[in-house]
Amino acid sequence: MTWSCSCISGAKILPMSGAVTCDDPAIRDGGLCRDMDASRIWLHPYPERKFWLHPCQDWRVASRPYAGVTADRRRADRRAALLDAALDLLATQGLRGTSLRAVCACAGLNTRYFYESFTDLEALLTDVHDRIITETADAAAQGVSAAGPGASLHAAVRSAATAVLDVYRADPRKARAVLIEASASPVLRARQREARRHYTRLVIEYARTFYDIPSYADAQMHFTATMLVAGWSENLIAWLDGELQTTASALAHMFADATEALATQAAGAARAAANLPH
């Protein structure tokens, strides 16, 4: 007789009878599991998978807490563990050492749990990258706000840069993941470039709040902002690698100096262009 079981080895039809041991404590496809106290289950000959013994709480009774923790919370915890494991591997082993199985092993999870949250490894790495980008962008915005409404360009930029550096100093893995390892992946490299273009647009918009720059100077502003964003990233990498020997405070101050100098130069070029015949 053929027995149906989606709880073992991914929806296989198992030619067996009697008792088998369930090895999947949170199957998603209507199987049975030992989340419900039983380490052994009986399979019945229902090819349509109409199981009736001990339904897995991660599927049929997802709202029921297990050991005081809901199924949704357990799934969220597993997702967080995968994200942290991927970040750790990216920072310590590089992209080549960040495989799906390595991530699951680092997270202490069976590989089947990976697909509970992510379609593939690229989806996981993209999520890791984008979360860091969002965190640093939010930190920069908060840094500008902390400088106060009447702050100079130099003071605002220095405060924003300090806030970003604080994020990286609190967890150096994040800096290495997005600034260094991301360039080794075609998918992450594209996300990296997209993030830099976004920062470039923000720099241009912010510079216009300090300088009266006409629209026909857009090319000059884009060139200048691109230099600032790319230069900041490269200097961060040099700082992380120890090539640039300075403190975080001094690095933020140098970036503010460069921003002010380039913005002043760009504004001057725009004014000069305004006096030329068009």
How do residues 61-117 score in pLDDT, each as one tens digit?
A: 445 666 678 888 999 999 999 999 999 999 999 999 999 999 999 999 999 999 999
Backbone angles phi, psi at 15, to 5 degrees: -80, 75
State whether 150 and 204 are in the same domain. Answer: yes
Of the pLDDT bands very low, low, confident and very high (cuts 50, 70, 90), residue 190 is very high
Q: Quick one: average pLDDT of 141-151?
A: 93
In a domain, 122, yes or no: no
Domain that holds residue 7: 1-64
Threshold 0.85, pTM exceeds: no
State whether 269 and 131 are in the same domain. Answer: yes
State whether 174 and 206 are in the same domain. Answer: yes
Contacts of 215 (CB under 8 A, 6+ apart): none
pLDDT at 122 over 50: yes
State whether 83 and 193 are in the same domain. Answer: no
The string of pLDDT tens digits covering residues 65-77 is 666 788 889 999 9
If one counts the domains in the chain, the total is 3
- What is the CA angle 193-197-201, rounded to 5? 170
